Chains A and B, each alone.
Chain A
């Protein structure tokens, strides 16, 4: 599991440029599913057939990560960038980015104006060691991800792109361990979630499932003076979403998760997230409406280069998801 997660989080995959992650996942699930395809937006859709007595279930974890895109190369060869997804300049400064061609850059910033405490995006620059516009190895429009290897921190794991490669890892493990199921399970490794759940929209339309479940990270409120006060902690089990900024989980989908966890004796916690949303919102509002929910992995420092999760929570999320998929739907 940790090997898969390491290769996933350390791969390059800003929104719209998920090719490497997609190839990696396709290789990991080959043989464990009945059909695999990619759609027009680059979603990887893997189908595992049921015994014909169940329903069509869409599971979604997104392959893409936040990052930056070169928006201007100045005359001294410094690269200006625009965010891909929700990027905070505060968390970027001093960090490093990796471009698709292997070029590494250091993120720093111009002198701030009086009263400015955090550099605005247009005062950030990426130093790729160039001396002029002509010798800069980065071109306008090139995307980059953060550069940060996976490390164990006590019982926790920290890396860039844990959002949502950890969800991808959970789906891969679930595919491999599922065994027999009554349901037609469509495992979707979605594209472009960080720029507005775009991949899940078209995937859900194409699949037209009876129910949708996203697997994604959520914030944790268990650090000193957290910016967002919420009752989710690491090591307390996967979180079953009740609500976030874009979705009210369909009550019976939430209950399906809760009842499965209770009967399997698995730890869980309920999640009410004040802002943000997941692919579950896109699935829920697709076509004529699709009952949907989200199984969350509690994560500290989301959208920083050191997103941190509990290995135990991840393992329990795999157990909960596979148990859910083996039972009949509550309706």
Chain B
């Protein structure tokens, strides 16, 4: 499974080259045109059976991670987070640090030496450091200097019905996009984009959408899933195992209603279950893409991933497969008429 290699690859925001190399290998020969832009995005094009539309389908390569800020005299490496990580999940986790991907551990005081009061309180990031076994500043700096990255060292595991690994947000999206490219061509020009720096503010997708100037965009994401049992009757955001997810409105975009209707219909016709993500939560590259140039009708299509932005996330293999099938069908049935199609959205006739 390509997802395994992708999830294991080292690729925090701004340092996506390992992931990019894997993806370039996967799509080579399946696209007519493929380049890497100044921000590190992969911009590809696959000719279709018609060129009446340009359809961008994107997934981001980067993952949340850590960046080294300082090597202490003791040999410990201080760091900051890259992207949104709950600092409470960090202590005692394994990481890979620096250009040689050296194993390290996020240092933690033994339970024997902590007071009850300390145990009731979360660490702040200033109290944390990465231990790579170095005993001096010079030794630590050989592993990683200021500005070098670290990611969680979690290895991918197949648990049968589900898989676990780091960075399923958004290597799941990357894996889906690779499969969609394999299953092409489609009745339009497909513009597959693997974007950089999503986790620090949709930076790659912004310039990618400007360059590709698509008519429509789909954004593939591993998204928030909060389906553990709760005391209150409240939204699980999405649920693992309940099928592909579309996001109709989040903090970054209000999805195009024509695309929402299209995907809902395709799912119903294909007998694929579909979830609507709890509106108002999170954001995706669609936030940047839909505002490019004169605007791009956009829709995020997601796989529910438990525990994202932590050392290990989990998704359902059936959800993943159904998301590929749903997207394939949605793309095969996409035409300019879908965008002109109305159901209450009346395009004003041009004189």
Against B, the Cβ 8 Å flags (1 = close, 0 = not) of A54-85 are 00000000000000011110111000101110
A172 within 8 A of B: no
B345 within 8 A of A: yes
From B278, B294, B344, A40 is in contact (CB under 8 Å) with B294
Q: How far is the CA of A44 from the CA of B279 in the complex (A)?
A: 26
A198 touches B290 (CB 8 A): yes
B346 within 8 A of A: yes
* Minimum distance in angstroms from B98 CB to a CB of chain A: 38
Residues of B contacting A143 in the complex (Cβ-Cβ under 8 angstroms)? 249
Q: How far is the CA of A40 from the CA of B345 in the complex (A)?
A: 12
B276 within 8 A of A: yes
A117 within 8 A of B: no
Against B, the Cβ 8 Å flags (1 = close, 0 = not) of A295-322 are 0000000000000000000000000000
B294 touches A206 (CB 8 A): yes
B291 within 8 A of A: yes
B249 touches A141 (CB 8 A): yes
B295 touches A41 (CB 8 A): yes
* Minimum distance in angstroms from B280 CB to a CB of chain A: 3
Q: Which of A23-75 contact B (CB under 8 A)?
A: 23, 26, 34-44, 69-72, 74-75
Q: How far is the CA of A186 from the CA of B49 in the complex (A)?
A: 38
Q: Which of B273-328 contact A (CB under 8 A)?
A: 276, 278-281, 290-297
Q: Which of B238-295 contact A (CB under 8 A)?
A: 248-249, 254-257, 260, 276, 278-281, 290-295
- Nearest first, the 10 A-B pairs at minimum CB distance are A82-B280, A16-B254, A202-B295, A40-B295, A72-B235, A41-B295, A206-B294, A141-B248, A69-B279, A140-B276
Q: How far is the CA of A206 from the CA of B345 in the complex (A)?
A: 21
A326 within 8 A of B: no
Q: Which of A78-132 contact B (CB under 8 A)?
A: 80, 82-84, 122
B346 touches A141 (CB 8 A): no
B350 within 8 A of A: yes
A-B contact pairs, 9 of them (CB 8 A): A35-B351, A37-B350, A38-B348, A40-B296, A41-B297, A122-B234, A199-B295, A202-B293, A203-B295
A40 touches B297 (CB 8 A): yes
Q: How far is the CA of A150 from the CA of B328 in the complex (A)?
A: 48
Q: How far is the CA of A45 from the CA of B66 in the complex (A)?
A: 46
Residues of A contacting B235 in the complex (Cβ-Cβ under 8 angstroms)? 71-72, 80
Assuming the contacts A72-B234, A141-B279, asked whether A26 and B294 have C-beta atoms less than 8 A apart, the reply is no
Assuming the contacts A140-B279, A202-B295, asked whether A41 and B346 have C-beta atoms less than 8 A apart, the reply is no
A19 within 8 A of B: yes
Residues of A contacting B348 in the complex (Cβ-Cβ under 8 angstroms)? 22-23, 26, 36-38, 44
From B279, B345, B346, A71 is in contact (CB under 8 Å) with B279
From A71, A84, A140, A202, B294 is in contact (CB under 8 Å) with A202
B233 within 8 A of A: yes
Question: Whose C-beta in chain B lies nearest to the C-beta of A33?
Answer: B351
Q: How far is the CA of A80 from the CA of B234 in the complex (A)?
A: 8
Interface residues of B (CB under 8 A from A): 215, 233-235, 248-249, 254-257, 260, 276, 278-281, 290-297, 344-351
Residues of A contacting B293 in the complex (Cβ-Cβ under 8 angstroms)? 202, 205-206
Q: How far is the CA of A143 from the CA of B276 in the complex (A)?
A: 13
State the majority secondary structure of interface residues on A. mixed
State the majority secondary structure of interface residues on B. loop
A84 touches B276 (CB 8 A): no
Assuming the contacts A16-B254, A72-B234, asked whether A201 and B291 have C-beta atoms less than 8 A apart, the reply is yes
Question: Whose C-beta in chain B lies nearest to the C-beta of A141?
Answer: B248
Question: Whose C-beta in chain B lies nearest to the C-beta of A17?
Answer: B257
A140 touches B257 (CB 8 A): no
A329 within 8 A of B: no
New A-B contacts (20) at CB < 8 Å, excluding given A16-B254, A39-B294: A15-B254, A16-B255, A19-B257, A22-B348, A23-B348, A26-B346, A35-B351, A38-B348, A69-B279, A72-B235, A72-B278, A74-B233, A80-B234, A82-B281, A84-B249, A122-B234, A140-B278, A141-B276, A141-B279, A202-B295
A195 within 8 A of B: yes
* Minimum distance in angstroms from A278 CB to a CB of chain B: 17
B295 touches A83 (CB 8 A): no
B294 touches A36 (CB 8 A): no
A192 within 8 A of B: yes
A23 touches B291 (CB 8 A): no
Which of B234, B295, B349 gathers the greatest number of chain A CB atoms within 10 Å? Answer: B295
Q: How far is the CA of A42 from the CA of B293 in the complex (A)?
A: 14
Assuming the contacts A69-B279, A70-B279, A72-B235, asked whether A22 and B346 have C-beta atoms less than 8 A apart, the reply is yes
A19 touches B345 (CB 8 A): yes
Residues of A contacting B295 in the complex (Cβ-Cβ under 8 angstroms)? 39-41, 43, 199, 201-203, 206
* Minimum distance in angstroms from A122 CB to a CB of chain B: 8
* Minimum distance in angstroms from B239 CB to a CB of chain A: 12
Against B, the Cβ 8 Å flags (1 = close, 0 = not) of A188-208 are 000010010011011101100
B278 touches A71 (CB 8 A): yes
Q: How far is the CA of A122 from the CA of B233 in the complex (A)?
A: 12
* Minimum distance in angstroms from A249 CB to a CB of chain B: 23
A35 touches B278 (CB 8 A): no
Q: How far is the CA of A42 from the CA of B259 in the complex (A)?
A: 13
Assuming the contacts A35-B350, A71-B278, A140-B278, asked whether A16 and B257 have C-beta atoms less than 8 A apart, the reply is yes
* Minimum distance in angstroms from A145 CB to a CB of chain B: 14
Which of B235, B279, B351 gathers the greatest number of chain A CB atoms within 10 Å? Answer: B279
Assuming the contacts A39-B295, A83-B280, A205-B294, asked whether A23 and B257 have C-beta atoms less than 8 A apart, the reply is no
A195 touches B234 (CB 8 A): no
Question: Whose C-beta in chain B lies nearest to the C-beta of A41?
Answer: B295
Question: Whose C-beta in chain A lies nearest to the C-beta of B346?
Answer: A23
B254 touches A195 (CB 8 A): yes
Q: How far is the CA of A22 from the CA of B248 in the complex (A)?
A: 21
